[in-house]
């Protein structure tokens, strides 16, 4: 940080619908120094609880926001400035910020970027496109997920790469059609291929999480001319182990009580599974067609012994594009040990204290790794 600069730490905006967040508590004390990536405060939204991570190193000079209090997106939470800045300057900064701050008005949802729906192979596919760069990055969620799984990645990847970043709901998932064809990886890869064609996109980077990783690998094998590179997050298809109990448990759960322990398996920090996250998942699972779709997909993903049915490990070298792999150390769904047999040509990162949803739990680290190893090289 250069001298005499004051940086505001504000309530982040995680996802389109977020208007306000509740500051649960501060994780660093006033006056203490922190490094980039450190967790500064816990914030809870309607959708999820997460930590505000430092995007740079600095000193937390003055805490403005109080614990257990709701603040609008963009509100001043604290002021970051080094020792050379006087208290008066800090206080003047806060006064100025507060006098000029206007919270985003509720009911202005139309002004934000909205998810859209496009018909592809007779399926309605919902997607969210941000940024207008020539280069395109497609985010592919995993089994039972949706485009909100990229809540903490989408905006930052657009900002830091200048690319056009698109997240979609796969068929059978989120708000896309609940029809899954043969329900195998080829079906999803073909749908993505047709989806990109419908959007007039010839080539794209694919970043896939879990089953979305295996789908991305399948896509790269089948359509090598259309892929610029692969980012694989806690990916399926790189080994045969998978937590079959999780798949079955998640699939069969119909109530809050049943599904909670399974959702907690997705995170290293179980407290991230709050009421809203559970409700959102149940609301998805109650939609007509979801249960059949999830069943069909799981039968294709797993073989009779409950192991992963499809492997791409031995064919990674034949894929001409750049590949990077990131995993959470505490992944209880697909073990991080699947990074051990990767060829040397693949850059990899295993992140401590993170579970299967590593792109949510350690968003900054995952984003930076993707930028450094896939998107800006």
Partner 1 sequence: MARKITYQQAINEALDQEMTRDESVIVMGEDVVGGSGGHGEMDAWGGVLGLTKGLYAKHGNRIMDTPITESGYIGAAVGAATCGMRPVAELMFIDFMGVCLDQIYNQAAKFRYMFGGKAKTPVVIRAMYGAGFSAAAQHSQALYSIFTHIPGLKVVLPSSPYDAKGLLIQAIRDDDPVIFLEHKVLYTLEGEVPEEPYTVPFGEANVVREGDDVTIVAFGRMVLHATGVADKLAKEGIKCEVIDPRTTSPLDDESILESIENTGRLVVVDESNPRCSMASDIAELAVTRAFEHLKAPVKTVTAPHTPVPFAKSLEDAYIPSPEKIEAAIRSIA
Residue 113 as a binder of partner 1 (CB under 8 A): the answer is no
Q: Report if residue 106 touches partner 1, rule: CB under 8 A.
A: no
CB 176 within 8 A of CB 206: no
User: Which residue among 47, 173, 178, 209 contacts partner 1 (CB under 8 A)?
Assistant: 178
Q: Which of 117, 121, 248, 347 binds partner 1 (CB under 8 A)?
A: 117
**In the set 29, 100, 288, 314, which binds partner 1 (CB under 8 A)?**
288
Nearer to partner 1, 98 or 114 (CB): 114
Size of the site for partner 1 (CB under 8 A): 14
Contacts 24+ apart (CB under 8 A), 90-99: 90/6, 90/61, 90/62, 91/62, 93/6, 93/8, 94/62, 94/64, 97/8
Q: Does 175 bind partner 1 (CB under 8 A)?
A: yes
- The angle that helices 256-264 and 275-285 make with each other, rounded to 10 degrees, is 110
Segment near partner 1 (CB under 8 A), from 143-151, 230-238, 286-294, 341-349? 286-294
Residue 276's Cβ-count burial label (10 Å; 0-12, 13-18, 19+) is middle
Both tokens of residue 302? 């797993």
Which x/- pattern over 120-149 shows residues binding partner 1 (rule: CB under 8 A)? Answer: ------x-----------------------
> Quick check: 91 binds partner 1 (CB under 8 A)?
no
| Closer to partner 1 by Cβ: residue 124 or 244 | 124
Binding flag, residue 270, partner 1 (CB under 8 A): no
The kind and range of the H/E element at 283 are: helix 275-285
Query: Which C-beta is closer to partner 1: that of 3 or that of 107?
Result: 107
**Is residue 255 a contact point for partner 1 (CB under 8 A)?**
yes
Q: What letter would DSSP give residue 10?
A: E
Residues that bind partner 1 (CB under 8 A): 117, 126, 175, 178, 254-257, 275, 283, 286-289
């Amino acid at each position: 940080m250069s001298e005499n600069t004051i940086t505001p730490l504000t309530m982040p905006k995680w996802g389109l619908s977020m208007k306000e967040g509740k500051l649960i508590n501060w994780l660093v004390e006033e006056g203490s120094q922190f490094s980039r990536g450190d967790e500064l405060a816990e914030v809870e939204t309607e959708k999820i609880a997460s930590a505000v991570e430092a995007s740079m190193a600095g000193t937390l000079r003055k805490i403005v926001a109080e614990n257990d209090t709701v603040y609008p997106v963009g509100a001043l939470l604290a002021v970051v400035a080094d020792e050379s800045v006087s208290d008066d300057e800090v206080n003047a900064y806060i006064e100025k910020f507060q006098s000029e701050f206007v919270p985003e008005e509720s009911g202005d949802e139309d002004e934000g970027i909205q998810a859209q729906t496009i018909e592809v192979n007779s399926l309605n596919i919902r997607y969210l496109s941000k940024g207008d760069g020539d280069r395109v990055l497609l985010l592919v969620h995993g089994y039972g997920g949706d485009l909100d799984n990229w809540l903490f990645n989408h905006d930052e990847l657009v900002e830091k790469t200048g690319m056009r970043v698109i997240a979609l709901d796969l068929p059978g998932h989120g708000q896309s059609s609940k029809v899954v064809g043969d329900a195998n990886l080829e079906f999803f890869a073909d749908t993505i291929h047709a989806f990109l064609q419908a959007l007039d996109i010839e080539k794209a980077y694919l970043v896939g999480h879990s089953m979305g990783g295996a789908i991305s690998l399948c896509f790269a094998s089948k359509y090598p001319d259309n892929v610029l590179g692969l980012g694989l997050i806690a990916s399926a298809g790189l080994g045969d182990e998978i937590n079959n109990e999780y798949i079955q448990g998640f699939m069969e759960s119909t109530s809050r009580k049943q599904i909670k322990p399974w959702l907690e398996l997705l995170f290293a920090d179980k407290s991230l599974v709050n009421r809203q996250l559970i409700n959102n998942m149940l609301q998805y699972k109650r939609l007509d067609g979801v249960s059949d779709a999830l069943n069909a997909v799981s039968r294709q993903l797993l073989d009779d012994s409950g192991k992963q049915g499809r492997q791409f490990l031995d064919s990674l070298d034949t894929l001409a594009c750049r590949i990077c792999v990131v995993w959470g150390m505490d992944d209880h769904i697909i073990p991080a040990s699947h990074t051990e047999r990767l060829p040397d040509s693949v850059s990899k990162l295993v992140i401590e204290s993170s579970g299967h949803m590593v792109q949510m739990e350690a968003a900054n680290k995952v984003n930076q790794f993707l930028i450094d190893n896939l998107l800006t090289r």
